Structure 1
């Protein structure tokens, strides 16, 4: 491994605890997407602090070094390492380019847990796409359009959640989200109901529910933050 990768891995192991590892294994490990993961037992705060410390210790990492380090951390199926990869990309999202969507797609396909896939979609894919120039945005939008049509429910979920940060901020393309939501709901769109008092279930394990849950999550947040935005499924 690289020096930065070794530093992060060893720090995460030092921050871990047996009891927290068991709790994570019992919680996330029961999810089909978490069954093959190992757990160090480090807290989310410890993961973020470790990545921050690594950034100070190995300052000045450029795009290729950041993306290579994220892949290095992700390659070992340990939850905290993969979460560290997500945090690293969150912290350096301004360095990412259109071509990095291929790497992110691979991560999302393998994540299969809301705890990993959702921050990749909301905090990495969304801001990455929003920061592109016009030509780059067109190409990125075509990638997200493909994700919506993918059999993999986690890619469909990611495409739906990716505009959430922009929508929260009063921007974002609401009409595009509605089109994507209708596409993923398919024949169920006409019968889809949304209760503004119902929160999305971030711990969902069912593939079909994972996609519907993403629609519900966006609608729930917009009902509170931007109630003027309306979602009318086909047939209503």
Structure 2
């Protein structure tokens, strides 16, 4: 794991509590593990990682998001979402493939919704033709996919409100 990935994971574990982990597991359900770190702690950890590792470029950001997503732990996956939200202007249409994988594995609307609304929607909106047309084809394909997460993401990313 990268130094940035280790920093994020270790910090999230330090910010955790078993009580919150149990409450989140009961509230959100699914099969993901939970550290029990608050949403604020996740956001703060990603912010601190950005300060600690300021030279992260597009490839570093996307690789780090994949590292964080790799383990089925809610807070790590939420940190990946926050990382992408924070750097959405760096993202490219080709990153929709990585995001599609995340959406297929997300399991929870608490991960699908911010990916769709705060990452996919602004990413696609910022694209220009012909790349925008290709991205719209991807969203149309997602809308027809058997995956509930992809269909939900396509609907949310395409809505204007």
For the superposition of Structure 1 and Structure 2, which TM-score range results when normalised by the shorter chain? over 0.9
Residue 60 of structure 2 corresponds to residue 87 of structure 1 = no
Residue 153 of structure 2 corresponds to residue 158 of structure 1 = yes
1:62-107 alpha-carbon deviations (Å, 9 max, x no partner) = 1000000000000011000000000000000001001000000000
The secondary structure found in structure 2 opposite 1:147 is: helix
Residue 14 of structure 2 aligns with which residue? 14
Residue 27 of structure 2 aligns with which residue? 27
Aligned residues: 161
Residue 145 of structure 2 corresponds to residue 143 of structure 1 = no
Residue 100 of structure 2 aligns with which residue? 105
The secondary structure found in structure 1 opposite 2:33 is: coil
Q: TM-score, normalised by structure 1?
A: 0.67
Aligned-CA RMSD value: 0.9
Give the C-alpha shift of residue 153 in structure 1.
1.8
List, as ranges, runs of 4+ consecutive aligned residues in structure 1 with deviation greater than 2 Å: none
Matches within 5 A, 1:63-212: 63-164=58-159, 167-168=160-161
Gaps of 5+ in 1: 169-236
Give the C-alpha shift of residue 48 in structure 1.
0.2
Residue 5 of structure 1 aligns with which residue? 5
Give the C-alpha shift of residue 154 in structure 1.
1.4
Give the Cα–Cα distance (whole angstroms) in 2 for the partners of residues 78 and 57 of structure 1: 23
Give the Cα–Cα distance (whole angstroms) in 2 for the partners of residues 154 and 8 of structure 1: 25
Give the Cα–Cα distance (whole angstroms) in 2 for the partners of residues 19 and 136 of structure 1: 46
Identify which of structures 1 and 2 has the higher relative contact order when contacts are C-alpha pairs closer than 8 Å and 6+ apart. 2
Give the Cα–Cα distance (whole angstroms) in 2 for the partners of residues 153 and 80 of structure 1: 21
